[in-house]
Structure 1
């Protein structure tokens, strides 16, 4: 898929994730192409990919319908991501990370420390968090030197909120979101500590817990009910 086509696919995934294309809505090539200001070809390819991923269902007639994704499906995908990223963390620890990878992880930690030191988050901070969070995770995955993990993650991570390349936050509760993402960043610190000290089993366990934190600690850290209008999704290409 071309870069242009990838951007169309990511845009449509985001529209489904944030409810702009709600479950049950019928979507067709021409209206979506006009809405996005693109030709029909990348939309057609994106629809096929989204059907394979389970986000769209092809109707009896021409066109597709947005499929409802249950919380259980998302939770299952996040659990699988935790297992895969945990394995990556253990392998990276056992095989040893390069000086470049270590410096990258340290840079992510330093960037996060500066971001959270203010005591609050802005929309721009969330963009920055998304970028260094993705860099932290991808560095560990790459350091595992196991291509099968990366391939498995790419197949698992298409569901909304299941991938590290996509984060969601509630703009109506930025105080609660500060607590949630600061907690996640503190987990980055202890994951790095385990990797840096050669504690493979500990790194694996911490990374699995880290992947599940978004779901497991919702009630502890200040949940929001439902999907508020100001709920924002940030997604990038991996």
Structure 2
């Protein structure tokens, strides 16, 4: 099994909600574990990548449903969309994106901080309300509070491959990662601006060299297919 890493840098506050709120505090709570450490599920991260693959495919091939050169690579990475057995075709599994291991360890081992204090230190609460279309006044009972992970936070997701990925698969994965711009709730309201990078190991988190080299290979593949 081969393991790579995906870093997710929040360039603006982002809400990756779990649906339930906390009475009297927030209407939309973000995903976090028992230690108060925020995370984004692997399924959500994969969803962002799959969405970007759909955008890339449309940009390259239009609306055609005919098999294209990159389709087989996409199946290896993401499986078959809408098919229950699709995951069997995928060689890639994404873990949850959470804080870097060293930072997480420092927070969890510091017994001076409770889980609530850790969560509060890493997040902020944003409030929004709906406006009446006629007069622009706030609608009654529409005020909502959402917890958001603060900008500048880096999350890291492990990417496990059941088979060692070839250069072409990594090239497509890097292209999809670079294409992701926003995620989570409120991304149409200015929140959840993201920057994703692909890494060979945890020692170069934040470095762009590996992602750039993989994307250069993707550009070569696209030119060769045209």
Task: Please tell me whether Structure 1 or Structure 2 has the larger radius of gyration of its CA atoms.
Answer: 2
Q: As a proportion of its length, which structure holds more helix?
A: 1
Same fold (TM over 0.5): no
TM-score computed with the length of structure 2 as normaliser: 0.24
TM-score computed with the length of structure 1 as normaliser: 0.23
Task: Say which structure, 1 or 2, has more relative contact order (CA 8 Å, 6+ apart).
Answer: 2
Q: As a proportion of its length, which structure holds more strand?
A: 2
